[in-house]
Structure formats: structure tokens, C-alpha cells
A = this chain, B = another copy of it.
Amino acid sequence: MAVHQLTPLPEQYSYVFGERAPLLSVRPGDIIEVSTEDCFGGRVTNPQDVPSQIVPFNELNPVSGPIEVVGAEPGDLLAVHFVSIVPARQYAISSTFPLFGALSATHETAMLHEPLEERVWFYDIDLDAWTATFRAKNSDYALALPLDPMHGTVGVAPAGGEVRLVVTPSTHGGNMDTPEARAGTTLYLPVNVAGAMLSLGDGHARQGEGEVCGTGLESAMNSVIALDLIKGGASAWPRLENDEFIMSTGSARPLEDAFRISQKDLVSWASDLTGLDTLDAYQLVSQMGLAPAANVCDPNYTMVAKLPKWTLKDAQAYGGVHSRLRAAAAEYTAAQ
């Protein structure tokens, strides 16, 4: 098992998916220790900072990468297993941001209102207690919240020669902002270009479903990922798997289209794994599925569709790659 390190220099961070030269080249089966910046590029350092004045919109959400996966070709499926995701600083930051967030007028949901107040919350991170402490700004309410670290933005180079700002999730993954992208989970991304060109960032120490205000507990991360490749296995949209669930995603607007994409993909996946025909799989998903929001604030909204793996009986997604990556992660962890 080869283990690589990727710690980008400040000028090496990328703000797009696509058409960037790789910072690192690895092989399927390799493990990568990667550090990522927070969504503000580390530039917000105290509660008096006003994010929108410090960070231009196009420089939000820097990603670490791309990482070239040797042998990956269009039509393949890249498996990205999150071995560990650990906050890298003693604080995480959340904020409202002008014309952003689910309960605000935005550039797309254009209205005549003045923007909401831009407010910044600093959370103290305690890795021993595994908590982040919320402190209200206008009253003395404080509360230790459990950490649940995840990466909001993980994706590959898009198809068709497109280059996309990191903020917009789509078929190439990107800024899906789902709390499901936590340690112990495998994310599957369809490969569009030779080498796949994986990038990741936008760590959240935790995040509610929907990322309602537009940010989670934004946090630089020290993360470890393990990669594998399913030749010819490309799905239309990103998928996830953990020990309990297979999960499909859809990123689109309106939100019902994100829902439809995720559910149709899950029906199709369940059908492939069980031999059920489409309508029988539709039925199974309808009765056993979960459907949490991921984000309802980004330029495309993301919904997740989940099905318990026990309903698939003995079927294993992609020949059991999740289990193998789980084992590799355990081996890596034991060796530390």
C-alpha cells in the first residue's frame, strides 16, 4: 500500500474542477494524506472579519488537487474512501453570506430585499471531547455540538471539456455538501477524463442537512483517503456507500429534480444489484428508502437517496470494493 502526502502551497489551491495540471499522481489502491483549507481559504481569522469583504466569491472553497489516478479513463468509476477527516485548527467558522443560503434572496432567486446581516460564528474545536462549541452572538447561549467531520466538495474533472467553479455540484461531484461524506464512507465518482483528476476540500466539522444558512462549521482538515477504480463501472451521477446504506445523489434545480435524479439512480442501482425489474425496484425503494437533503443553498441543490444494504440480500456493490477499502483503511490506521 503506497501512501502519498498532498499539502498544497497557498498558490497551489484550485478554484475549479477541470483543466488543471495534477499536483500528485497515484495508482488505484493507494492512500493519500491530504490537507485541505477551509472554504474561506484560511483568510477569516477572527470574528470581526467580514467574509464577503475578505474573500472574493470566485475564491471561496479552494480545493486540494487535482490528483491524477493512473489508469483511470472515461467510463470508469473512481472509488474514494474517506479513511479519516480531522479538523486541523482549534476553531471552525460559520457565517451567513450576502445573497446566499436557503432562507435568503440570492442571485438566482432574485428579489428586491436588502441582503440579510452577514454574521460570523467561531466554534472552538475540542478534538479530545470531539465537540465544537456554538456560542450565540446576541445572547449568552452556548452549546457543545458533536463533531461529525466531512468534506463538502469532492469531485473530478467534468465531461465535455467543461471547467466548473468548485461551488456548483453536478455529475462530476463537486460541492454536494452532504454530511454523508464522512470517514468510513466510500464516494463513487464517474470518470470523465484520463486520470480522473480528483480534488477535494470544503471540510465541515459538522453540518446539518440542507446546509440551510449556506455554511457548515468550515474547517481546514487533515484527511486520509484511499482510492480504487472500477473499470467500466461509471454511473451517471455520484454515489456513496457506507456499512449500512447504498446512496445515490442528484444535484439540480428545482429541488424536486435533484430528488428525482437521486431516486431514479437508486432505483436503477437497486435493480442492477437485485435483478428486480424497474417497477419492482421502484417499489422497494419507495418503501425502504431515506431521502435527506444535502444542500439547498448551492447553485445546484443536492438530494441523497439511501437504501439499507440488507434489502439487497447478498448483493455487493461493485464486487465489494467498499469492504476492501474499509479493510485497507483499518490496516493503514493500525500502522500509524
A108: chain B residues within 8 A (beta carbon):
252, 257, 260-261
Q: Are A282 and B163 in touch, CB under 8 angstroms?
A: no
Contact of A206 among B206, B259, B287 (CB under 8 A): B287
A254: chain B residues within 8 A (beta carbon):
253-256
Residue of B nearest to A289 (CB): B208
For the complex, give the distance between the alpha carbons of A159 and B167 in Å. 13
Given A139-B275, A212-B263, 12 extra CB contacts under 8 A: A16-B161, A96-B282, A110-B265, A112-B264, A136-B280, A136-B284, A210-B286, A211-B286, A212-B285, A255-B256, A291-B293, A293-B293
Residue of B nearest to A114 (CB): B113
Q: Could you say which of A4-12, A116-124, A194-202, A224-232 contacts chain B?
A: A116-124
Copy number of this protein in the oligomer? 4
Q: Are B287 and A94 in touch, CB under 8 angstroms?
A: yes
* Contacts of A251-303 to chain B: CB distance below 8 A: 252-257, 259-261, 263-265, 267, 274-280, 282-293, 296, 301, 303
A19 at the B interface (CB under 8 A): yes
Which residues of A pack against B, CB within 8 Å?
Answer: 15-16, 18-19, 58, 94, 96, 102-105, 107-114, 116-117, 119, 121, 134, 136-139, 141, 143, 145, 159-165, 206-217, 236, 250, 252-257, 259-261, 263-265, 267, 274-280, 282-293, 296, 301, 303, 305, 311, 313
A305: chain B residues within 8 A (beta carbon):
210
A256: chain B residues within 8 A (beta carbon):
102, 253-255, 296, 301
Give me 19 A-to-B residue pairs in the complex whose CB atoms sit less than 8 angstroms apart, sorted by A's number: A94-B287, A102-B256, A103-B260, A105-B111, A107-B236, A108-B261, A111-B260, A117-B279, A119-B279, A121-B283, A160-B165, A161-B163, A161-B165, A162-B165, A209-B289, A210-B259, A210-B291, A216-B287, A291-B293
Expressed in whole angstroms, the minimum distance between the Cβ of A249 and any Cβ of chain B is 12
A292: chain B residues within 8 A (beta carbon):
209, 290-293
Asked whether A16 and B160 contact (CB < 8 A) given A119-B279, A264-B110, the answer is yes
A212: chain B residues within 8 A (beta carbon):
263, 282, 285-286, 289, 291
Residue of B nearest to A251 (CB): B108
Expressed in whole angstroms, the minimum distance between the Cβ of A93 and any Cβ of chain B is 11
Residue of B nearest to A296 (CB): B259
Contact of A260 among B102, B214, B267, B276 (CB under 8 A): B102
Asked whether A293 and B113 contact (CB < 8 A) given A103-B267, A137-B279, the answer is no
Asked whether A139 and B291 contact (CB < 8 A) given A102-B259, A165-B160, A263-B102, the answer is no
Q: Are B121 and A112 in touch, CB under 8 angstroms?
A: no
Asked whether A136 and B276 contact (CB < 8 A) given A160-B165, A261-B110, A264-B103, the answer is yes
Asked whether A111 and B113 contact (CB < 8 A) given A165-B160, A263-B103, A282-B96, the answer is yes
For A107, A207, A217, the residue with the greatest tally of chain B CB atoms inside 10 Å of its CB is A107
Expressed in whole angstroms, the minimum distance between the Cβ of A78 and any Cβ of chain B is 20
For the complex, give the distance between the alpha carbons of A290 and B159 in Å. 33
